[in-house]
Structure 1
């Protein structure tokens, strides 16, 4: 059986979402989790913070499972967050994607089994219809304490009503609710039996592997009550032999959702253990490996006469610097992607706006400014301001010692001050009067170290020479500030 015949999204995703295109180096982890998911039927929580790449990972897992000959279903529950009935949403997606398998012609000798499968499939639809019809009873069965409390209160009111006649309309209504409730409970039991049987028939007819794997994505982005209802639906309607669920969430956010429904003192962790048999944490990503995998092209700007300093000799050193800044400022993968896009959008714009033969851009200053803006920690500085920072640039175990002084020296190269002593790589000059100079020239920069630990006095000297060159547009801080604000509109 062709893979695309038992995984409806396979052809759409196979070229984009495979391990060869994965920039987070999670191939081995993904293959391990695929094996773990298919070893038995259960409900697994895939935990990952916002921006950690859960959706990218889960879609690659879909392709991996399909290639392993497992029927696989993907449901983005956030797309249906506007609905008030998660049971209807999950039923619709599940039935549509499982029925997709049965559209394939049955192999020789399996026609009778396929006919039986269609009958069971129709029975399944019928029983799901009962549950949808009696949605209130199904919610009651799910154990929701708010609904139970309301129902008990109504029952108590009926009990204490004087001269209550069993034949009254109210009593008939109560009896109807009770009957519907019992029928819906039986329907849930039937649903689980039919689902298990259908998974077995899929294995018999098409030689596919079971369990069928259901991937639930974007749960933590849903309204709190809707997110909880989705879990209730999975637990009470679809948790059965032959099916495994992987629910991708930011579990901490999901716990807050639970508390928003049941109160801040409610034990959300214990509550969620009712739904999940295991929790799997998405491994963190090496930012350096991720940036390297992006094949970022700095060299293309040479032809546009854009001079990128201070890594003019080896532009790939930018990657190490970026990764260090992202890490110490706790910037997640999705945000990294946004900042990188703004960085190159800025360079692209600058390359098309040349006002002289050359333009010199300090990539360290640009990236620090972009991070400040992204974290909403912009510094109100001008070309003449003292240098200060609101983001983390201090040294730590993940970066080399001179990082902060290196960043400060780069900002000294794009701001000005007044002084009578002007330093150069080889020494200094004394002026008879105060004059405007680059801030870096007011200091002895001969011993300044880069983030790689090497002296950069000669590079600073090169930059200083460009600043006085009429054929070069040498950006000062206010130039960076303008372009950073423009790029801040890109998300």
Structure 2
């Protein structure tokens, strides 16, 4: 991955926080707070590629891509199952195959109870029988009422936490949550609450990408808050910060980045420009060289 916007120092900061907090018995959560299009997903992908596979068990949960699941816990379980099935194929973890296999079976049973009741299909007995769990759940369109009736939420959460605890004996668990601020308001809040229920006081490191300004609107809509007034007690961000403290330990702002080599983004196109001098409308000369191009690009991309 080419780092056009000099993100490595930010990634290194995240890696240092992860190293310092990965043994925290109560877990730890970090939010990357940046505007839409500022590169949060790129940073998460680069970060994951730099973490040692033999040490970290990484679950990457894209909340927006999985928001067709009406119950976020089912979506999270689906992502966890897929990740576990993938790492089971890696030879390096063969010594840990038992804990991975048992975790797959345990999680698939939780999901299997739901899909069996909803679709009349038994998916909980074997690993092979749950290969198409994602597609089955997509078609099921489960509601909260279905989920709580078929498998009480409190019981499901206990089972998931038990599985995470067992996995934690062999791996450092790293949970990535991306695109949360793109979800519908009610769903975004529900995702945060499910993450809290699953990971609270568990040895799980969470990193959540958000655009706090846009997420603030979702939070206020869900809780019926109206911040048309300008008095301090009606400050929207004060309310949002107070709410997010339940889920996030620290929030790190992300800038739009700055290229180390300004012309690198042109992929060599700048070489096609001629170095020549001409007059502008005011009659002053313009030296149309590399420095001019760099300044021009900086102005053109300012704020993007």
Same fold (TM over 0.5): yes
Deviation at 1:189, TM superposition (A): 1.6
Alignment partner for residue 81 of structure 2, among 87, 91, 95? 95
CA RMSD, Structure 1 to Structure 2 (Å): 3.4
TM-score (norm 1): 0.46
Deviation at 1:27, TM superposition (A): 1.0
Q: Which runs of 5+ in 2 are unaligned?
A: 118-141, 227-235
> SS in structure 2 opposite 1:81?
coil
1:136 counterpart residue number = 144
Alignment partner for residue 241 of structure 1, among 179, 202, 223? 202
Alignment partner for residue 292 of structure 2, among 298, 317, 337? 317
Q: How does 1:81-480 map to 2 (within 5 A)?
A: 81-105=67-91, 110=95, 114-129=97-112, 136=144, 183-200=152-169, 203=170, 210-239=171-200, 241-265=202-226, 267-286=239-258, 289=260, 291-295=262-266, 297-302=269-274, 311-324=286-299, 326-327=301-302, 331-332=303-304
Residues 395-424 of structure 1 deviation map (CA, whole Å, 9 limit, x = unaligned): xxxxxxxxxxxxxxxxxxxxxxxxxxxxxx
1:30 counterpart residue number = 11
Q: Distance in 1 between matches of 2:279 and 2:41?
A: 35
- Change in Cα spacing, 1:319 to 1:26, as seen in structure 2 (3 Å) is same
Query: Do the aligned partners of 2:147 and 2:153 also contact (CA within 8 Å) in 1?
Result: no
Alignment partner for residue 79 of structure 1, among 65, 81, 88? 65
Deviation at 1:215, TM superposition (A): 1.6
Q: Distance in 2 between matches of 1:124 and 1:237?
A: 13
Q: Number of aligned pairs? A: 257
With 86-95 and 310-319 compared, the bigger mean Cα shift is at 310-319
Q: Distance in 2 between matches of 1:238 and 1:129?
A: 22
Q: Distance in 2 between matches of 1:72 and 1:195?
A: 12
TM-score (norm 2): 0.71
Q: Distance in 1 between matches of 2:114 and 2:261?
A: 47
Query: Do the aligned partners of 2:99 and 2:167 also contact (CA within 8 Å) in 1?
Result: no
- Change in Cα spacing, 1:299 to 1:100, as seen in structure 2 (3 Å) is closer
Q: Distance in 1 between matches of 2:75 and 2:279?
A: 52
> SS in structure 1 opposite 2:177?
strand
Query: Do the aligned partners of 1:196 and 1:240 also contact (CA within 8 Å) in 2?
Result: no
Query: Do the aligned partners of 1:42 and 1:277 also contact (CA within 8 Å) in 2?
Result: yes
Query: Do the aligned partners of 1:48 and 1:282 also contact (CA within 8 Å) in 2?
Result: yes
> SS in structure 2 opposite 1:89?
helix
Residues 197-233 of structure 1 deviation map (CA, whole Å, 9 limit, x = unaligned): 1232xx3xxxxxx422122211111211221122122
Query: Do the aligned partners of 2:71 and 2:144 also contact (CA within 8 Å) in 1?
Result: no
Deviation at 1:137, TM superposition (A): 6.5
> SS in structure 2 opposite 1:286?
coil
- Change in Cα spacing, 1:224 to 1:195, as seen in structure 2 (3 Å) is same
- Change in Cα spacing, 1:284 to 1:80, as seen in structure 2 (3 Å) is same
Deviation at 1:281, TM superposition (A): 1.6
Query: Do the aligned partners of 2:103 and 2:163 also contact (CA within 8 Å) in 1?
Result: yes
With 244-253 and 50-59 compared, the bigger mean Cα shift is at 50-59
Q: Distance in 1 between matches of 2:242 and 2:196?
A: 15
- Change in Cα spacing, 1:127 to 1:240, as seen in structure 2 (3 Å) is farther
Query: Do the aligned partners of 1:43 and 1:275 also contact (CA within 8 Å) in 2?
Result: yes
Query: Do the aligned partners of 1:44 and 1:247 also contact (CA within 8 Å) in 2?
Result: yes
Query: Do the aligned partners of 2:4 and 2:265 also contact (CA within 8 Å) in 1?
Result: yes
Q: Distance in 1 between matches of 2:53 and 2:90?
A: 17
The reply on whether 1:70 has 2:78 as its aligned counterpart is no
Query: Do the aligned partners of 2:70 and 2:143 also contact (CA within 8 Å) in 1?
Result: no
Deviation at 1:97, TM superposition (A): 0.8
Query: Do the aligned partners of 2:189 and 2:219 also contact (CA within 8 Å) in 1?
Result: yes
Deviation at 1:316, TM superposition (A): 2.9
2:30 counterpart residue number = 44
